[in-house]
Amino acid sequence: MTLAAGTPKPFRVQIAQERIDAIMARVAAFQMPDTPEGGGWGYGAAPEFMSALIDYWKDGFDWWAAQDGLNRFPQFTAKIGHLDIHFVHEKGSQSKPRALILSHGWPGSFFEFLELVEPLAHPERFGGNAEDGFDVIVPSLPGYGFSGKPEKPISPRTIATYFNALVTGSLGYNTYLAQGGDWGSVVSGWLAYEGKVCAGAHLNMLGWRAPGVVPETDEEKAQAMEAAGLFEAEGAYFRLHSTKPSTLAYAMMDSPVGACAWIVEKFHGWSDLRDGGMEAAYTKDQLLTNVMIYLVTGTFATATWLYRGFFEDQSGAPVPVGARIEKPIGLARFPIDIIPMPPRSLVERMMNVVHWSDMREGGHFAALERPQMLIDDIRAFAKAAGY
């Protein structure tokens, strides 16, 4: 699918006071639900944590400071096909253009990557070499944040065509690297598989899968059983998003606190909290800034459509059984994740793995949890890929 790519237009996050007031009025009016005694996080979002977070949201959180933070790098929108795609574009210090596109997933946003932008674009400011810099591109997925909303669910494969058109058409790069976790890993996988000028992809979750590649060794089979058990315990959200997303949307679009709990519970369940609780990994400001992006843009509903689109969007030719990504692939295997990365032996049957890192700590939201570890691994992969 070839998409027309328009000229980028400058963009800034500017939310009207009336919108913030309406959200905060709903937060102030929220009544805590009854919860099982001693249940903690075992029954969902823990009441003790949510009560403290709501109190901070009302009395301590500063949206305007958060908005200033979102605006600290140059942002743009570009018309790709019929959708406006929002993105950060920070040109690096290197002498020759080297593009890197960072793709988020659910329940994240482009905010996840903002701490990575300056170190990746300007490593000399952090004790590194300017020639290791990248031109960093951080888009919002269609239906998320400040990008346009598709008319119906679309798939990660289709999103990859939008992002390829953005990088090559609107921004004019003749090659690029892709990076992503969660849905961003699926998008990045498709960019490496189908994007003719994509030079390779770095993934911190294995989302792109080749048909017909199944566990064969004892290690692979044991890991697959472990992953299936984890998904059985934690995957109810996935089944709801991919079957009845509109029913969920009626509740979440009406309740800012409900949307917050739905999102924050995933940050708890998918993160490496072995060194402490939630606030050992994230600040309340980080959690609320990410949630507020969904609320101020009214995108909770359309963000969940991606799960339905994953199954029903049949754009593109069927992928052959045993297909393999031949572009260079780098994997950062963080120990805590909703979809644990399979053993390297299985991954190498699907992808040309030139770089593999078994991380000692960190989880699903690596860019927020362990930003320096992810930065270092992206750089190491770029060198291994000869980019």
3-class secondary structure, 29: helix
CA-based nearest residue to 343, from 182, 201, 213, 162: 213
Q: Which of 263, 297, 285 is nearest to 57 (CA)?
A: 285
pLDDT exceeds cutoff 90 at 46: yes
The answer, yes or no, to whether residue 123 has pLDDT greater than 80, is: yes
Q: CA torsion sign, 115 to 118 to 124 to 125?
A: negative
Q: Return the pLDDT at 148.
A: 98
Average pLDDT value for residue range 161-179: 98
> Looking at domain 54-384, what is its CATH homologous superfamily?
Alpha/Beta hydrolase fold, catalytic domain (3.40.50.1820)
Predicted confidence at residue 39, as pLDDT, reads 86
**Strand ordering across the sheet containing 9-11:** 9-11, 75-80, 83-90, 135-139, 99-103, 176-180, 198-203, 325-333, 351-358
| Position 1 confidence tier, pLDDT thresholds 50, 70, 90 | confident
Nearest to 173 by CA among 72, 86, 89: 89
Give me the percent of the chain exceeding a pLDDT of 90: 96
Predicted pLDDT of residue 316: 86
Rounded to whole angstroms, what are the CA distances from 27 to 274, 294, 302, 374?
31, 15, 22, 34
Rounded-to-integer distance, Cα 387 and Cα 380, Å? 10
pLDDT of residue 128: 97
CB 372 within 8 A of CB 380: no
Query: In the predicted model, what is the mean pLDDT of residues 185-189?
Result: 98
